[in-house]
């Protein structure tokens, strides 16, 4: 999602949590990513590990193969994947994604024409792609405006730091108040999380 001034103005003027973040750290950067196989593969590598670790693993794998493509990924042996620091689980997930692309079960050009619900149904049908991975792809690659990844630890941690809301059900209720700009709300919370921890 491209962060634009009208949406920022609307969100910060309506919810104090975001005006406080903006006053302290400014508006979040534009974290937009290109659509397609490489971006989705990188998001899979980011599952449950730090962004820095995921980036290092991606670079190692990308440097090992002539082109980051489904065909090249499927050529790799398990030993080669391990040598590139790809875990057995993510090795399997990348192969599942690669096969789906080559078999035309997943056509990236079609995703931009679908609703977020349809995109979710399509992506989560592939083993290794769950709601969090789909949420990140919808937000970063398809610029969906009203997505909030409730499975993201950094977001939940930040909400608990900045509000009195601690329970999962309470957090769900809170995020509904941020419709129809929940993606932008998530960007603000990530921005706060990273800035506070000097990880930007």
Q: What integer pLDDT is reported at residue 41 of this predicted model?
A: 98
pTM for the model stands at 0.95
CA distance to 43, 66, 152, 173, 184, per residue, from 57 (Å)? 12, 16, 20, 36, 28
Residue 170 · residue 163 · CB < 8 Å? no
Look over the chain and give the mean of its residue pLDDT values, rounded to a whole number: 96
Location of structure tokens 């992506």: 123
Q: What pLDDT does residue 4 have?
A: 58
Q: What is the pLDDT of residue 200?
A: 66
Q: Which pLDDT tens digit goes with each residue over 162-192?
A: 999 999 999 999 999 999 999 999 999 999 9
Q: Which two tokens stand for residue 147?
A: 């997505």
Residue 117's pLDDT is 98
Write out pLDDT tens, residues 86-103.
999 999 999 999 999 999
Residue 3: per-residue pLDDT: 56
Are 44 and 77 a contacting pair, CB within 8 Å? no
CA angle 190, 126, 58 (to 5 degrees): 50
Q: Which residues of the chain have pLDDT under 50?
A: 1-2
Over its C-alpha atoms, the chain yields an Rg (Å, rounded) of 18
Cα–Cα distance measured from residue 94 to residue 37, given in angstroms and rounded to the nearest whole number? 10
3-class secondary structure for the chain?
A: CCCCHHHHHHHHHHCHHHHHHHHHHCCCCCCCCCCCHHHHHHHHHCCCCCHHHHHHHHHHHHHHCCCCCHHHHHHCCHHHHHHCCCCHHHHHHHHHHHHHHHCCCCCHHHHCCCCHHHHHHHHHCCCCCCHHHHHHHHHHHCCCCCCCCCCCHHHHHHHHHHCCCCCHHHHHHHHHCCCCCHHHHHHHHHHHHHHHCCCC
Which domains does the chain possess?
A: 5-31+147-196 (1.10.1670), 37-141 (1.10.340.30)
Confidence at residue 1, expressed as pLDDT on a 0 to 100 scale: 47
């Amino acid at each position: 999602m491209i962060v634009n001034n009208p949406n920022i103005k609307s969100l910060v003027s309506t919810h104090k949590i975001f005006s406080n973040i903006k006053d302290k750290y400014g508006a979040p950067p534009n974290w937009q990513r290109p659509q397609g196989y490489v971006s989705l593969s990188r998001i899979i590598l980011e599952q449950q590990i730090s962004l820095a670790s995921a980036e290092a693993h991606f670079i190692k794998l990308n440097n090992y193969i002539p082109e980051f493509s489904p065909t090249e990924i499927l050529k790799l042996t398990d030993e080669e994947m391990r040598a590139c620091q790809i875990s057995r689980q993510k090795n399997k997930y990348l192969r599942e994604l690669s096969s789906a692309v080559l078999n035309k079960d997943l056509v990236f050009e079609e995703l931009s024409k679908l609703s977020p619900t349809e995109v979710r149904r399509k992506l989560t049908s592939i083993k290794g792609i769950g709601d969090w991975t789909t949420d990140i792809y919808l937000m970063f690659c398809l610029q969906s405006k009203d997505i909030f990844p409730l499975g993201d630890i950094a977001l939940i941690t930040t909400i608990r730091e900045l509000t009195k809301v601690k329970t999962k059900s309470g957090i769900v209720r809170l995020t509904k108040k941020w419709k129809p700009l929940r993606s932008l709300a998530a960007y603000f919370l990530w921005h706060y999380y990273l800035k506070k921890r000097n990880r930007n």
